[in-house]
Amino acid sequence: MIAAPRPSLRRLGALGVAVALVATSCMFKGDDNGQETVQTAALGPTPVESGLPADAKPTRGGQLVYGLEAESSGGWCLPEAQLAISGMQVARALYDTLTVPDAKGDYVPYLAKTITHDDSYRSWTITLRGGVTFHDGTKLDAEVVKNNLDAYRGAYAKRSPLLFVFVFKNIESVEVVNELSLTVKTKVPWVAFPAALYNSGRIGIVAQAQLDASEADCTNRPIGTGPFSFVSWQPEVSLRVKRNPDYWQQAPDGKPYPYLDAIDFRPMPNSDERIADLQQGELNMMHTSTASDMADNLARLRDDGAINLIVSEDRTETSYLMMNTADERLATRDVRLAITHAIDPAKVNELANKGFATLAKGPFAPEVLGYLDDPGTAGFDLPAAEKGVAAMEAADLSTRFSLLTSAGPAAIRSAGIQKEMLEAAGFTIDLEVESEAGLIERVIAGDYELVAFRNQPGEDPDANYNWWYGKGNPVNFGRFDDPTINAALDKGRTSPDPKARKAAYEAVNRQFAKQAYNVYLWYAPWAVAESPDVHGILGPPLPDEPDADPPTRLVTGHPLLGIWIDHD
């Protein structure tokens, strides 16, 4: 039986806040009566985990309960799954990827020992680490990795991927060289191929038994090489994992990671409920993208010593209102501009996020290649929006749109504010609410008009080839086919010249601004909070970078192998 440990309540209020100025912090000033009032919290560039001792000595053992923002759609047959952030977080417990991003944004070997290419960037050799085993005791070798890559790209008969067929469309062949090496050949040069092998953590390597399992067993019985192995899954309730005693990475105490004995992941879409359960000891850990909580509730709890906390917008995703250009009206730039002019991102951020998030003008976070301070994005202009609505009415076009959002209170609040702004410009808006999994399924099917969305999570911008290239692409959710964007994505994929790649993705950024396919709102901050006796959110250094700090990104989840509970 996996049970949750209660937090050490005797330590509440006793811990100092070991968080730097660059982490989230509440700042105070006196009001006219000399009383202290809370100002807006601030984000900075270097996230720091509060409550983490400078001379931390991790201890082994213990079990914790982790509150997720949603259930994952499609289960755990990774080639066929549709993982959002919650699924990516669970996948990091069960599976490893061939590559991972490091703190500099490069992609380095993980399950792979080396990844090399020829001069053309069309032939890539992957050499695997030896001695790695799956949870069922079988060895990681080149044959199972070949079968995984074939399954993701739709070339393995026993699996039927939907989304990854396009992601790996550029692969021409995968061939085994020897027990621990294989060669991947591509149709055109693929400079960022190591980034594609990570794909926000979705390309976990699964055991042969799972690859060959029935649809139900592949979905419900995950087998990876990760630091934890599968115990049970009750959808919408709990997914339980236990320590993998044979994990391939060794901790400083000479034993394999991880430190924890077990984790119970619980989907809880209501962020208020997650925070309440964390305070009450029903959860020991949680993640959230609710910026207003980072600005207020979580910051107060951290400053009171009731929780440990880290907040990061490092290489994060962008929140935006996405328009489905398959709708004849939204295929027209003037209509998209009218919608863009109707929304005031700064006001939405103030009302929905307490002004906490950093406003965005384009799809790329500041650290990502292609970012521009001002790509020329159209701004809030109510008279222009009203003029656009009038032009639609004159052309006998309906000004009624549906706005789809996920079911969390914060998401509904933000969508409601945008609905009011659009209606102030003369549109009629029907608000539709779905679970996160239901929203993703509808977006994939193109069953929406306007949708509140987050994407582009700070990967190498070549990853957006999957999301933006041409028609007939199931993950081009906006359904546009833009020759300028297509050409720039081709250039960015095939050119080894960093300057040429930078120029290509800047061109993409400017075209999004010009065409107003999305209304960009803010860069989504992410937070992980934990009981005061739980530590190690960012985990240890990467295996081949022992002297470097671990990455501080939270947007696609965080490692779990270094989490530990202070038993003192």
**Do 171 and 126 touch, CB atoms closer than 8 A?**
no
In this structure, the answer to whether residues 338 and 268 fall within a common structural domain is: no
**CA torsion through residues 225, 444, 152, 504, sign:** negative
**Nearest by Cα to 114 from 128, 101, 135:** 128
**Nearest by Cα to 126 from 39, 61, 186, 79:** 186
Split at pLDDT 50, 70, 90, the class of 56 is confident
Q: Is residue 88 part of a domain?
A: no
Higher pLDDT residue, 501 or 471?
Answer: 501
pLDDT at residue 45 in the model: 54
In this structure, the answer to whether residues 327 and 301 fall within a common structural domain is: no
User: How many domains does one find in the chain?
Assistant: 3
Asked if the model's pLDDT at residue 374 lies above 80, the reply is yes
In this structure, the answer to whether residues 59 and 194 fall within a common structural domain is: no
Higher pLDDT residue, 498 or 42?
Answer: 498
**Do 258 and 562 touch, CB atoms closer than 8 A?**
yes
In this structure, the answer to whether residues 207 and 123 fall within a common structural domain is: yes
**What is the 3-class SS of 192-258, one letter each residue?**
CHHHHCCHHHCCECCCHHHHCCCHHHHHHCCCCCCCEEEEEEECCCEEEEEECCCCCCECCCCCECC
Q: Is residue 58 part of a domain?
A: yes
Split at pLDDT 50, 70, 90, the class of 35 is very low
Q: Residue 262 sits in which domain range?
A: 9-20+47-72+226-314+531-565
Asked if the model's pLDDT at residue 39 lies above 90, the reply is no
Q: Is residue 553 part of a domain?
A: yes
Q: Is residue 495 part of a domain?
A: yes
| 551/359 Cα distance (integer angstroms) | 23
Contacts 24+ apart (CB under 8 A), 31-36: none
Kindly give the residue spans of alpha helices, DSSP state H, lying in 43-114: 85-94
Hey, is 497 helix, strand or coil?
A: coil
Q: Is residue 455 part of a domain?
A: yes
In this structure, the answer to whether residues 301 and 331 fall within a common structural domain is: no
Kindly give the residue spans of alpha helices, DSSP state H, lying in 19-84: none
Cα dist from 553 to 105, 112, 164, 370, whole Å: 10, 21, 23, 19
Asked if the model's pLDDT at residue 227 lies above 50, the reply is yes
In this structure, the answer to whether residues 341 and 420 fall within a common structural domain is: yes
pLDDT digits (tens, 9 = 90+) for 299-346: 999 999 999 999 999 999 999 999 999 999 999 999 999 999 999 999
Q: Domain holding 361: CATH number?
A: 3.10.105.10
**Domain end position, chosen among 163, 188, 215:** 215
Instruction: Provide the terminal-to-terminal Cα distance of the chain, rounded to the nearest Å.
Output: 24
In this structure, the answer to whether residues 102 and 211 fall within a common structural domain is: yes
In this structure, the answer to whether residues 334 and 465 fall within a common structural domain is: yes
pLDDT at residue 8 in the model: 33
For tokens 């209020």, name the residue. Answer: 13
**Domain end position, chosen among 215, 242, 261:** 215
Q: Domain holding 139: CATH number?
A: 3.90.76.10
pLDDT at residue 44 in the model: 53
Q: Is residue 31 part of a domain?
A: no
Hey, is 381 helix, strand or coil?
A: coil
Split at pLDDT 50, 70, 90, the class of 43 is low
What tokens does 28 get? 């105070």
Strands 358-359 and 518-523: antiparallel
In this structure, the answer to whether residues 516 and 547 fall within a common structural domain is: no
Q: Residue 474: which residues within 8 A CB-CB, separation 6 or more?
A: 162, 163, 166, 444
pLDDT digits (tens, 9 = 90+) for 420-476: 999 999 999 999 999 888 898 899 899 999 999 999 999 999 999 989 998 778 789
Split at pLDDT 50, 70, 90, the class of 82 is confident
**Lowest mean pLDDT: which of 12-21, 128-137, 170-179?**
12-21
In this structure, the answer to whether residues 413 and 432 fall within a common structural domain is: yes
pLDDT digits (tens, 9 = 90+) for 520-566: 999 999 999 999 999 999 999 999 999 999 999 999 999 999 999 99
Q: Residue 484: which residues within 8 A CB-CB, separation 6 or more?
A: 507, 508, 511
Beta bridge partners of 128: 112
pLDDT at residue 20 in the model: 28
> How big, in percent rounded to 5, are the helix, strand and coil portions of the chain?
30, 20, 50
In this structure, the answer to whether residues 289 and 164 fall within a common structural domain is: no
pLDDT at residue 330 in the model: 98
In this structure, the answer to whether residues 273 and 292 fall within a common structural domain is: yes
pLDDT digits (tens, 9 = 90+) for 240-295: 999 999 999 999 999 999 999 999 999 998 999 999 999 999 999 999 999 999 99
Q: What percent of the chain has pLDDT over 70?
A: 92
Q: Is residue 347 part of a domain?
A: yes
pLDDT at residue 74 in the model: 76
Question: What is the average pLDDT across 76-90?
Answer: 93
Q: Is residue 87 part of a domain?
A: no
| 188/443 Cα distance (integer angstroms) | 29
**CA dihedral of 339, 344, 345, 346, whole degrees rounded to 10:** 170
Question: What is the average pLDDT across 71-90?
Answer: 91
| 115/119 Cα distance (integer angstroms) | 14
**Domain end position, chosen among 168, 192, 215:** 215
**CA torsion through residues 53, 59, 65, 71, sign:** positive
Asked if the model's pLDDT at residue 33 lies above 80, the reply is no
Asked if the model's pLDDT at residue 15 lies above 50, the reply is no
Average pLDDT, the chain: 91
| 335/356 Cα distance (integer angstroms) | 30
Q: Domain holding 551: CATH number?
A: 3.40.190.10
| 160/63 Cα distance (integer angstroms) | 36
**Do 499 and 471 touch, CB atoms closer than 8 A?**
no
**Do 413 and 425 touch, CB atoms closer than 8 A?**
no
Hey, is 534 helix, strand or coil?
A: strand
Q: Residue 23: which residues within 8 A CB-CB, separation 6 or more?
A: 44, 46, 47, 48, 50, 309, 310, 311
Cα dist from 288 to 73, 312, 528, whole Å: 18, 11, 7
